[in-house]
Structure 1
Amino acid sequence: MSVTSKQILGLYKQLLERAAKFDNYNFREYSKRKIVDSFKEHKSLKEEKDIVDFYNKGIDSLAQLKRQTTVSQMFTFDKLVVEPLKQKHN
């Protein structure tokens, strides 16, 4: 199986979008940071096997994130002081 750079970029975007769905600020920011760091760390992969392995692990991580964000949305948390408040514009 061959993985294109377009597929990897798509996976990256999907992971970040899913991580943004965490209601809890700490989980959300940790997940986003972990995704960005992982892709930066692996951007120099050259071997096809290594790229495919990284992509498959990313697919597994996406499935895990989907489960985790679904569970996190079942519970509500108060906003933390560090979170920006959404302001209403009239």
Structure 2
Amino acid sequence: MTSKSQILKLYKTLLRESQKFPSYNYRKYSLRMIHDAFQENKNMTDRVLISAQIQEATRNLDIIKRQVVLGQMYSTEKLIIENVFDKV
């Protein structure tokens, strides 16, 4: 069984890893999808479904970690919008 603190830790880890995407678009997309998925499932009470969602989130965390490494290997120049936010 997983506790709320473990789920919160997984949520924070997903957000933290998504912040590492070198691509602005991937970074914003993944952050939005993570937030939306957790908001959608926050009132879930069925333990079997919760366990399945946690397993899916853990698999997605592994995917994000791999994609971050690949993105760092083949990084491109920053977008104009990123440079604007860096100055603020």
Q: Give the TM-score of the pair, scaled to structure 1.
A: 0.90
Matched, 1:23 2:40: no
Query: Moved runs in structure 1, 4+ residues, more than 2 A?
Result: none
2:64 paired residue number? 65
Deviation per residue, 1:11-46 (Å, 9 max, x gap): 000000110000000000000000000000010100
Aligned sequence identity (%): 37
Structure showing greater radius of gyration is 1
Q: How many residue pairs are counted as aligned between the two chains?
A: 86
CA RMSD, Structure 1 to Structure 2 (Å): 1.2
SS at match of 1:53: helix
5+ residue gaps, structure 1, are none
Structure with the larger helix share:
2
